[in-house]
Structure 1
Amino acid sequence: MLFDLDGVLVDSRHAQLATLAGFATSALGRRVTIADLPAGAATIPREHVLAELGYAGAINPDSWDAATATATLTAEVFPFVAGTLAALRAADVGTGIVTLRSRQRVDWFLPPNILGLIDVVVCYEDAAPKPAPDGLLLALDKLGVSPGDAVFIGDMESDMHAARAAGVTPIGSGWGFSGPSTLTRAGAAVVLPHADDLAGTLLSLTGTGRRGA
């Protein structure tokens, strides 16, 4: 089973908005708060958000990392994640993360005990970013699982599009950044409204067997 990171495994909405506000404050030389960000800032490209604030220059990676590192202090792994991953491992189901975050930033968001329960992590620098299917296909290749035996749980339109393009069953996380209707329109086979007994729900919905993903 493959998972997106932000909004699916990690409650990072505030951290993402704080990163945007912090970077904008530094780049524009004036105070920018989360309340100053345009509507939907958490779900639209950062370049668009910054342009609406009046910044159209290049995004300096070091400055962005500095803002991100501070903002991630407010992010928390969702309470259900450790139990879900442990249950999947006990069922001998392979797991992976496919994220637009860099590998360095993944380590900022996930503690070692959670990373230790994930078999494969595919980051921004490893493959063409979603909605391209490359990251999902790379993760499945590493797991030794065919796309038809896999699911991808995501919370963005790009996640659903990537899963469809890879031949993987797309499942929407209703607790993430996008609403259920958005995920359904983007091609989700099903949108889960909450994460209660997530491992059991996913296994029953997909019929994933041993060493499936």
Structure 2
Amino acid sequence: MKRAVLFDLDGVLVDSRAAQLTTLAGYATSALDRRITVADLPSDAATTPREQVLANLGLHGAINEDGWDAATATASLHAEVFPFVTDTLTGLRAADVATGIVTLRSRRRVNWLLPPNVLALIDTVVCYEDATPKPAPDGVLLALDQLGVAPNSAAFVGDMDVDIHAARAAGVKAVGAGWGFAGPEALTAAGADLVLPHTTELADVLLLLVGAEQSSEFAKRS
């Protein structure tokens, strides 16, 4: 039986909180023609829709995506993949568990955040333009369809309430990434099946969760 673990991107695989806040401040500075710093943003800016944050700063109307891309591309240079990512993805692959990303990012922005060696360990990537965005389950279900995996043989690891809602609606195990943006309490309140406060032995936990066995090679390294 094929199994899979899907991941959100920001806050789960990539430490991009500072980059997201810098993007907001940079775009607002350009659009409002006055200096906006990260300190000027509300404390919940990283977990609030960008339209709402910008509206609170006085910027209303549609976002200029070319301008947003410019701010994002620069800010993304400061985003780093979490240290656990390569080992975790390698461990899942060694155990014959497929991996995927379901993100609200556009495809070109995903390529700015993830280096080629990490992308090579991901079997499928579903982006904003590919399916109805989370909290709808469409992106999760599309990823599973592309991987040929049934929902009851999969888990989705996310750090926001929309991730948990999407996972539950898709019928996969909803795993809260407590190290991400929203925090463990919010993920528990959203209905996560399991909330992990840290990334210690993450591959082992995920393999158990989807009912997969470790390969002998990975077990020796763990």
Letter of the 2:186 partner, please give it.
T
The separation in 1 between residues aligned to 2:209 and 2:167, in whole angstroms, is 16
Q: 2:128 aligns with which of 124, 131, 138?
A: 124
1:60 aligned onto 2:64: yes
1:91-136 Cα offsets, whole Å, 9 max, x none, are 0000000000000000000000000000000001100000000000
1:151 is paired with a residue whose SS is strand
Q: Aligned partners of 2:212 and 2:31: how far apart in 1?
A: 47
Give 1:209 deviation, angstroms: 5.4
1:205 CA drift (Å):
3.3
Q: 1:76 corresponds to which letter in structure 2? A: E
Task: Output the CA distance in 2 between the equivalents of 1:104 and 1:22.
Answer: 19
Give the residue type in structure 1 aligned to 2:35: R
Q: What are the ranges of 5 or more consecutive residues in structure 2 without an aligned counterpart?
A: 215-222
Amino acid at match of 1:18: T
Q: What is the aligned partner in structure 1 of residue 20 from structure 2?
A: 16
What TM-score do you get using the length of structure 1 for normalisation?
A: 0.97
Mark the runs of 5 or more structure 1 residues left unpaired by the alignment.
none
Q: TM-score scaled by structure 2?
A: 0.93
> In structure 1, what is the Cα distance between the partners aligned to 2:64 and 2:40?
21
- In the alignment, the residues of structure 2 paired with residue 57 and residue 124 of structure 1 have an alpha-carbon distance, to the nearest angstrom, of 20
| Contact residue 155 and residue 209 of structure 2 kept, 8 A | no
**Matched residue type, 1:150:** A
**Distance in 1 between residues matched to 2:211 and 2:39, nearest whole Å:** 44
Partner of residue 184, structure 1: 188
Q: Report the secondary structure of 2:98's partner residue.
A: coil
Alignment counterpart, residue 208 of structure 2, candidates 189, 199, 204: 204
Q: What is the match of residue 110 of structure 2?
A: 106
CA distance in 1, matches of 2:212, 2:56: 44
Aligned-partner SS, 1:171:
strand
**Could you tell me which residue of structure 1 aligns to residue 217 of structure 2?**
none
Identity level (%): 71
Supply the distance in 2 between the matched residues of 1:208 and 1:70 (Cα, whole angstroms). Answer: 40
2:36 partner amino acid: V
Q: How does 1:153-164 map to 2 (within 5 A)?
A: 153-164=157-168
- Alignment partner of 2:88 out of 75, 84, 91: 84
1:22-37 equivalence runs, <5 A: 22-37=26-41
Counterpart residue number, 1:40: 44
**Could you tell me whether the CA contact under 8 Å between 2:84 and 2:199 is conserved in 1?**
yes
Q: Is the 8 A contact 1:93 1:209 kept in 2?
A: no
Alignment of 1:125-164 (within 5 A): 125-164=129-168
RMSD over aligned CA atoms reads: 1.0
Does the alignment pair 1:70 with 2:77?
no
Size of the aligned set, in residue pairs, is 210
Residue type of the alignment partner of 2:165 = H
For 1:116 and 1:64, how far apart are their aligned partners in 2?
27
Deviation at 1:208, TM superposition (A): 3.4
